[in-house]
Amino acid sequence: MNIPLITISYLAAAISFVFLGLSLLASWRGKYRGILLTLACFVTSVWAGLNAFSGYNAHMTIPIAVMEVIRSAVWLLFIWEVLLGAKTSTVCSLFNAFIVGLISVPLMIFTMYIHAGGRGQSQVLLLFDITSHVVLAIFGMVLIEQLFRNTQADSRWGIKFICMGIGAMFVYDFFLYSDAMLFHQIDQNIWMARGVVNAIISPLIMVSAVRNQQWSLSVHMSRNLVFHTTTLLGAGVYLLLMAATGYYLRIFGGSWGGVLQVAFLFGASIVLLTVFFSGSIRSKLRVLLSKHFFSYKYDYREEWLRFTRTLLTSEPNGQIYQAAIKAIAVLVESPSGLLWMVQEPGGDYACVAGWNMVIPELVVHAKDSLVVFMAESQRVINIDEYLPNRTLYGRLEIPDWLSGIMNAWILVPLMLQERLMGFIILAQSRSDIQLNWEVSDLLKAAAHQLANNLAQKLATDALLVARQFDSFNRMSAFVAHDLKNLVGQLSLMLSNAKKHKNNPEFQEDMLSTLQNSVDKMNRLLLQLRSGNPSESPKTEVAVFELLQSVHEAKANLKPLPTLEADDENIFVIADKEKLSRVIGHIIQNACEATHYDGKVDVRLSGRDGFAVIEVKDDGKGMDDAFIHDRLFRPFDSTKCAGMGIGAYECHEYIRELGGFVKVSSAPEKGTLFCIAIPLFDKICPAGIAS
């Protein structure tokens, strides 16, 4: 007796899947996914048995076609269940089964209708039947890919073989029906080999079944993927129903059929777009999916990334308070909110920002019962929960000002360590969200992070103000130092006026000194008024001429400094007035440190690309420790009336010009200041240290 090849091929598949199903049934522990896998194995064995029997009975096309759809549907349902994870609810599983049934039942009815017509059916309908199987195969391959890719690496050991097995099953189906779509008929050789292929697949499924008896896999399913997939699926079902209704109107609407169909489809499209753009409906759909499809309500990774992005987007325009409200509000689908922040001094709380709400002009006292309760308990307050049962919140009393805020729903305290630095009031959510422990913990964690961000912002603002004051104080110190020098010049002139007031030359010199002092004072007042030191642009400066003007200005000093130059044609690039001032400070300090019968020598020379100004005196001198630790430190001076600014300003400005200052001194032996400034056409050589 010759046994048909198709019978041998599919009988091997039937026996292998019966054996696999019995093994799974014997080890089943009551898990829903386990029974789904067992059911899929038995359905596959029945499908293979019918194909094996078709070798003796050619009139098995309808049962085989129906089982073809059922087999694919059960495997798709199993993969989808495993993909969603081990903790999905019963409602979620029933919903999955409903969706698969919604796809497969009409397809089975359509397949029965096509195959019942035999060869009399049109090629278009047969091609549509083949195409539907191609789509099912593609859907199966996509789910297998998602299952493997979304499974954590340490859990793929248990899932890889079943992905290979079921994936190979759908790949072969895709190959079979794609070939049939191309040639408008099923290749019998590919069809007969299909049984052997399925028999080879069953051991791979067995290996994974042994490794995962509970099917509790660490699979991550993106909530956005579920949300958008469900939305598109719902839209597709809606459009199919609307298309069918429009087709009915066209057929049975008489002369108005075409008009009614167009009008109906346009209206249905408007309704669909309205639903798509409705924030309330989208919010309710997210809540529904989170409740029934996932073990936890939130995808904490996505929520935290969105929370962080919301705060970061506020930085360019400084709207951090509004962003803070929004970042908390989106966690519970709230459309608006208000932010109160503590005000110093006093510790009262003022409303500093509102998001989609009018800011009330009221200040909440630090001893308000609500503020005290939030500071002590650190609890998130649900007003809807408080009103019907006030004992849930102990001694809390909702104040009248809070009752006056329309749609107030949740109060979220912003705790910084143990201090209440503010709180947020959120309006009623767009959807029906239950404020359970998970929502409350998420709000607390987000509020804690938000409090740190707001505290950092306040500290940054305070630091900016402190820096502005510091800059103003530094500028004021330099101004005061210049004023001290001007006062010294005017005091000296006043002491000499008694002797020389009738001397015409002294009178001219006095007027010139007064005019110069007034000009300098006006410039100093301008600096104080503007808050910025007004510096002239750097230009080419003749150093010897500058030293001559400084020497003339110091003509009243005792001892009178001498001026010598090895080369009078030396030029540098600098702010002439500022350079004159810093060199004048050094010369004046040398004169003040020297006895009136001592000497101070100023010498200009050019060496190694530098204009070198040496100020030498035989005065008190300084030790090495003072030069190293204190000489160029601001506000440190050995003089009773000194401010410690002159040497510091000289050192910093010469460095700014690219030069350096060297000092050599010894107590009671005098001091040599060496100021080196690059010539205007030279570059400061590397390796020269200041």
- Determine what percent of the chain is predicted with pLDDT higher than 70: 66
**Contacting residues for 356 by C-beta, under 8 A, at least 6 apart:** 335, 336, 337, 427
- Please tell me the predicted confidence (pLDDT) of residue 614: 94
Nearest C-alpha neighbor of 387 from the set 366, 401, 403, 374: 403
Average pLDDT, the chain: 75
Alpha helices in 531-593 (DSSP H): 543-553, 576-592
Predicted pLDDT of residue 446? 83
Selected residue with higher pLDDT from 555 and 284: 555
pLDDT surpassing 50 at residue 684: no
Would you place residue 689 in the very low, low, confident or very high pLDDT band (cuts 50, 70, 90)?
Answer: very low
Q: Which fold, 300-463?
A: Beta-Lactamase (3.30.450)
Q: Topology of domain 5-218, per CATH? A: Rhopdopsin 7-helix transmembrane proteins (1.20.1070)
For domain 538-678, the question of CATH label 3.40.190.290 is answered with no
- 483-493: burial string, b at 16+ Cβ within 10 Å, e else: eebbeebeeeb
User: Vertex 452, ends 449 and 456: CA angle to 5°?
Assistant: 145
Residue for token pair 């001032």: 581
Which residues lie across from 604 on neighbouring strands? 565, 613
Mean pLDDT across the stretch 570-577?
89
For residues 375 and 411, is the Cβ–Cβ distance under 8 A? no
The CA distance from 654 to 648, in Å, is 10
Q: Which residues contact 507 (CB under 8 A, 6 or more apart)?
A: 501
Inter-residue contact 413 to 447 (CB < 8 Å):
yes
Block residue for tokens 């993909």: 83
Q: Report the C-alpha dihedral over residues 259, 265, 271, 274, rounded to 10 degrees.
A: -110
| Fold match between domain 300-463 and domain 538-678 | no
**φ, ψ at 571 (rounded to 5°):** -130, 145
Task: Provide mean pLDDT across the span 348-372.
Answer: 85
Higher pLDDT among residues 303 and 92, named by residue: 303
pLDDT in tens, 256-294: 555 665 666 666 667 666 666 665 566 566 655 555 554
Structure tokens at 140: 């199966």
Separation between Cα atoms, residue 85 and residue 95, nearest integer Å: 15
8 A C-beta contact, residue 646 and residue 581:
no
Query: In 3D, which of 290, 272, 292 has the Cα closest to residue 231?
Result: 272
Average the pLDDT over 344-362 and give the result. 83
Could you give the CA distance from residue 4 to residue 192 in angstroms, rounded to a whole number? 10
Q: What is the 3-state secondary structure (H, E, C) of 375-416?
A: HHHCCCEEHHHHCCCHHHHCCCCCCHHHHCCCCEEEEEEEEE
pLDDT band at 111 (very low <50, low <70, confident <90, very high): low
Q: How far is CA 447 from the centre of its chain?
A: 16
Cα distance between residue 6 and residue 56, in whole Å: 10
Q: For the chain, which residues make up each domain, given as ranges?
A: 5-218, 222-295, 300-463, 538-678
Residue 504 corresponds to which tokens in the numbers above? 């015409």
β-sheet with 363-364: strand ranges across: 363-364, 349-355, 337-342, 419-427, 408-416, 381-382
Which of 291, 150, 157, 121 is CA-nearest to residue 219? 150
Residue partners of 681: CB distance under 8 A and separation at least 6: none
pLDDT at 603: 93
Please give the distance of CA 316 from its chain centroid, rounded to a whole number.
Answer: 13
Q: Which residues of 234-265 are buried (b: 16+ CB within 10 A; e: fewer)?
A: eeeeeeeebeeebeebbeeeeeebeebbeebb
CA-based nearest residue to 659, from 681, 685, 633, 634: 685
pTM above 0.95, yes or no: no
Rounded to the nearest 10 degrees, how much is the dihedral formed by the CA atoms of 87, 88, 90, 91? 160
CA-to-CA separations, 562 to 168, 661, 673, in angstroms, rounded: 101, 20, 15
* pLDDT reading at 678 higher than 80: yes
CA 301 to chain centroid: 12
> 131-140, 334-343, 465-474, 500-509 — which is least confidently predicted?
465-474
Rank 313-317, 352-356, 431-435 by mean pLDDT and report only the highest.
352-356
Radius of gyration over alpha carbons of the chain, in Å?
45
CA-based nearest residue to 111, from 62, 70, 73? 62
Mean pLDDT calculated for residue range 560-571:
89
pLDDT (0 to 100) of residue 588: 84
Q: If pLDDT is split at 50, 70 and 90, which confidence band does 301 have?
A: low
Q: Give the sheet arrangement for strand 562-565, strand by strand.
A: 562-565, 600-607, 610-617, 670-678, 660-666
Position 563 pLDDT exceeds 70: yes
Pairing of strands 571-574, 562-565: unpaired
Per-residue pLDDT at 675: 93
Q: What gap in Å lies between CA 469 and CA 461, rounded to an integer? A: 13
pLDDT value at 659 more than 80: yes
Which has the closest alpha carbon to 667: 597, 607, 620? 620
What angle (nearest 5°) sits at the alpha carbon of residue 450, between those of residues 447 and 452? Answer: 115
Average pLDDT over residues 194-202: 85
Whether a cis peptide bond, with omega within 30° of 0, leads into 360 is no
Residue 674 has pLDDT above 90, yes or no: yes
C-alpha span between 225 and 140 (Å, rounded): 16
Contact 567, 605 (CB under 8 A): yes
Q: What's the one-letter identity of residue 562?
A: T
Is residue 666 classed as helix, strand or coil in its secondary structure? strand
